[in-house]
């Protein structure tokens, strides 16, 4: 995984997301999820290309069930965009890079 992507856990989620100075896009994913693997390279690109606008975090829903449940993540990949610790956008499913970036930036 890209060193510019933050790995989140149930234990670190609230602190990392709540203290982020920039909006943080959290990818709720699992190892077995095909669409999750499809968007992973896009998120790695965003971590580099969009680092001035937002940061990327990833949370494995199989290991961190409490956080996934707290945010009602029923399908993966689910991307939640947080600003000041609050969810400002929810994107579900894999999308092409341009479409994904457009959806994210409309909320920044």
Q: How many domains does the chain have?
A: 1
Active site residue 48: no
Q: Mind listing the pLDDT tens digit for each residue in 59-82? A: 999 999 999 999 999 999 999 999
Q: For the full predicted model, state whether its pTM sits above 0.75.
A: yes
Contact 60, 69 (CB under 8 A): no
**Strand-pair partners of 5:** 56
Is residue 63 left, alpha or beta, with left meaning phi > 0 and alpha meaning psi from -120 to 50? alpha
Q: Mind listing the pLDDT tens digit for each residue in 13-23? A: 999 999 999 99
Active site residue 39: no
CATH number for the domain harbouring residue 100:
3.40.30.10
Give the active site residue among 5, 8, 17, 33: 33
Give the active site residue among 25, 36, 43, 81: 36
Tell me the C-alpha distance between 83 and 91, whole Å.
15
Range of the domain at 66: 5-105
Q: What is the pLDDT of residue 85?
A: 95
Q: What is the pLDDT of residue 3?
A: 81
């Amino acid at each position: 995984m890209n060193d510019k992507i933050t790995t989140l856990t149930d234990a670190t989620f609230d602190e990392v997301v709540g203290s982020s100075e920039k909006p943080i896009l959290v990818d709720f994913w699992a190892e077995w999820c095909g669409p999750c693997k499809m968007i992973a390279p896009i998120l790695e690109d965003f971590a580099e290309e969009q680092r001035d606008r937002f940061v990327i975090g990833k949370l494995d829903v199989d290991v961190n069930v409490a956080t996934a449940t707290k945010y009602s993540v029923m399908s993966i990949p689910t991307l939640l965009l947080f600003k000041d610790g609050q969810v400002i956008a929810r994107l579900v499913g894999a999308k092409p890079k341009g479409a994904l970036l457009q959806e994210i930036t409309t909320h920044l």
